[in-house]
Amino acid sequence: MVKFIRERNDILRSKNRRFSAYIALIFLFILFVATAISLVTHKNIDQARAEKQTSEILRMQDHLLLKVRSIGTDLTYFAHSDLAQSVLMSNEPKSSSYLASLMLKITTIKKQYDQIRIIDSQGQEVIRIDQQATNTFFQVPSEGLQDKSERYYFQKTRQLKPNQIFISKFDLNKEHGKVESPIKPMIRFSTPIYSSTGSFLGIGIINYRGSDLLHSLDDLNIHNNDNIYLVNDNGYLLKGYDKEKEWSFMYPEKKQYKFSDEFSTVWASMTTSPEGMVTTPQGEFYFLKTALNPFNELSSVNSESLFLVMHVPKSVLTNEFSALMENILIAILLVTPIVAFLSYQLASSQEEQKWLVEKLTIEARHDGLTGLYNRHAIVEFLEEQIDKTPSSMPLLSVGFIDANNLKKINDNYGHEAGDNLIKGLAKAISSTVRTSDFSARLGGDEFLIVFMNCNVEDASHSMHRILANLRTLGLKDNMDWSMSYGCAELMDNDSVESLIGRADKDMYKQKLAKKNQ
């Protein structure tokens, strides 16, 4: 009893030492975790945000180019048609009526077009479809058609080859030399029309309302606190968060605002790389350079480059990180008492658990008399091997052993002598098999060995050596110890029962053969 108390006191002292060590480690662990989480989460936040913003700006570019590609398709559909050539060559009323009807249908479907026209080789409008203030379209009567021979877009387009398209700068529409009010952002797309013999007949032109493109960028901006900019290749702002700073190049009499001046560091990167991210005191800027020329069948001329810029303000970055760090701190404060309690429990029970686990593990999987594995352990091991896929199933054989004359020895010499036979057989097995093999006592006088990477012939040789070792051990006790055995090799369709059954059957054949001798 004294010895038990002394051992119990030793366990208690060990518990206290462990708990003190755990408390110190927990404190250091909390500091380490807080620092590590801060660094890792900050990096993950930055990476996730960069991936999200890059994906969003690429989606905006795809949408923008899809719109421009649609304009090019509409332009070539009516301007490069045989009907357009017929109208410009003969000005036949019926052909003109058909072409005007086609152009009116296009504008009715694509309401973002402000105007589409056919202009002859002298610069005179032949067909013109206008959008009214009510967003309806009408064909301008002949007396309203104008001479556009001096306009830059006509002069530029008439110099192009048949498969080229002119794209104007993205600017504001002017009437009589002044910017319209309210403003009307505009991009003009025009292409020359040639006869089959190569004679210049005129041009087709679409005036595209740029407000449609700008509004679509707002729709695609899924982050309410982010600012989206559209900047031309001269650094002027076409779209931003301050309307007063947009389109300043269209008003030379006013103060000129340039994105390139306000965000010079960002602009420096934009002019040297087609895409990227720049961090400034104002926040993060993600940019992507794109050109309005995604035409497969036409080559673009005079197309300007535009920059899509996503601005994540510094306040958003700070709030995002602060919120996450607050959550981390709360989580740590909640977890710390739990961890401390569990550490105490761990320190309190570790010594008892260590002893108990070892004891239970040995008893659960080992035979108490021989120290070999028991039936449950070896059956479980065999099931794991058999359950493997055919391609990874190992070469495996089993040996079934039956100790001969155990009952006779028990009856004649007592159960201690019988136990000696069982322990001697276990010793003979352990001294013969390899470390990769698996040996077990099934119960009574029966044993089973799993030979890994071994065919049935080699297994039989090993069993013979076990028999020889058993006889040697028996002679030391002046006893005639022997055994019967049988072997079987694992086959594709085997179960644990069928494999052991074949080895058992082979063992009984041997035992029967010895009796008949």
Higher pLDDT, 516 or 239: 239
191 close to 160: Cβ distance less than 8 angstroms: yes
pLDDT of 417 strictly over 50: yes
Q: Which amino acid is located at 122 in the chain?
A: Q
Residue 117 DSSP one-character state: E
- Containing 166, the helix (H) or strand (E) segment is strand 164-167
d(CA 348, CA 17): 10
164 three-state secondary structure: strand
According to the model, what pLDDT value does residue 243 have? 87
Which pLDDT band holds residue 1 (cuts at 50, 70, 90)? very low
pLDDT of 381 strictly over 90: yes
Higher pLDDT, 363 or 149: 149
Q: What is the mean pLDDT of residues 170-199?
A: 90
User: Which residues, listed in sequence order, are joined to residue 299 by a DSSP beta bridge?
Assistant: 164
Nearest residue to 192 via CA among 164, 168, 153, 155 = 164
- CA torsion sign, 209 to 213 to 219 to 223? negative
Cβ burial 301-340 (10 Å sphere, 16+ → b, else e): bbbbebbbbbbbeeebbeebeeebeeeeeeeeeeeeeebe
384 three-state secondary structure: helix
According to the model, what pLDDT value does residue 263 have? 92
According to the model, what pLDDT value does residue 9 have? 63
According to the model, what pLDDT value does residue 458 have? 95
249 close to 238: Cβ distance less than 8 angstroms: no
The proportion of the chain whose per-residue pLDDT surpasses 70, expressed as a percent, equals 90
Tell me the CATH architecture of domain 70-212.
2-Layer Sandwich (3.30)
235 close to 259: Cβ distance less than 8 angstroms: yes
pLDDT of 295 strictly over 70: no
- Ordered by start, the domain boundaries in the chain are 70-212, 375-515
The model's pLDDT over 215-262, given as tens digits with 9 standing for 90+, comes to 888 888 877 778 899 999 899 999 988 888 999 999 988 888 999 999
pLDDT of 2 strictly over 50: no
Q: What is the mean pLDDT of residues 85-100?
A: 90
Q: Read off the tokens for 388.
A: 């493997």
Which pLDDT band holds residue 31 (cuts at 50, 70, 90)? confident
Higher pLDDT, 351 or 163: 163
* Segment among 74-78, 241-245, 294-298, 316-320 with least mean pLDDT: 294-298
Residues recorded for the chain: 517
pLDDT of 286 strictly over 60: yes
d(CA 469, CA 238): 96
- Containing 192, the helix (H) or strand (E) segment is strand 185-194
According to the model, what pLDDT value does residue 391 have? 72
According to the model, what pLDDT value does residue 300 have? 73
Higher pLDDT, 236 or 20: 236
* Segment among 59-73, 221-235, 348-362, 378-392 with least mean pLDDT: 348-362
Q: Read off the tokens for 5.
A: 């108390």
d(CA 21, CA 374): 40
Q: What is the mean pLDDT of residues 159-179?
A: 88
The model's pLDDT over 350-376, given as tens digits with 9 standing for 90+, comes to 656 655 666 667 778 899 899 899 999
Supply the mean pLDDT for the chain: 86
Which residues, 6 or more positions from 253, have their beta carbon under 8 angstroms from its beta carbon?
A: none
Which residues, 6 or more positions from 274, have their beta carbon under 8 angstroms from its beta carbon?
A: 288, 289
**pTM, two decimal places:** 0.59
CB atoms inside a 10 Å sphere around CB 276 = 15
pLDDT of 486 strictly over 50: yes
According to the model, what pLDDT value does residue 350 have? 63
Nearest residue to 335 via CA among 29, 18, 11, 10 = 29
Nearest residue to 183 via CA among 148, 209, 217, 153 = 209
d(CA 400, CA 456): 12
d(CA 78, CA 92): 16
pLDDT of 176 strictly over 90: no
According to the model, what pLDDT value does residue 344 have? 63
Distances (CA, A) of 31 to 25, 45, 341: 10, 21, 18
Q: Read off the tokens for 246.
A: 């947009």
d(CA 200, CA 159): 9
Which residues, 6 or more positions from 513, have their beta carbon under 8 angstroms from its beta carbon?
A: none
Q: Which DSSP string corresponds to 254-316?
A: SPP-BHHHHTHHHHHHHTT-SEEEEEETTEEEEEEEEES---SSSEEESPPEEEEEEEEEHHH
According to the model, what pLDDT value does residue 287 have? 94
Which pLDDT band holds residue 347 (cuts at 50, 70, 90)? low
According to the model, what pLDDT value does residue 195 have? 93
167 close to 219: Cβ distance less than 8 angstroms: no
The model's pLDDT over 430-472, given as tens digits with 9 standing for 90+, comes to 999 999 999 999 999 999 999 999 999 999 999 999 999 999 9
Which residues, 6 or more positions from 356, have their beta carbon under 8 angstroms from its beta carbon?
A: none
Q: What is the mean pLDDT of residues 23-40?
A: 76
Q: Read off the tokens for 436.
A: 């990769």
The proportion of the chain whose per-residue pLDDT surpasses 90, expressed as a percent, equals 53
Residue 390 DSSP one-character state: T
**What CATH superfamily is the domain 375-515?**
Reverse transcriptase/Diguanylate cyclase domain (3.30.70.270)
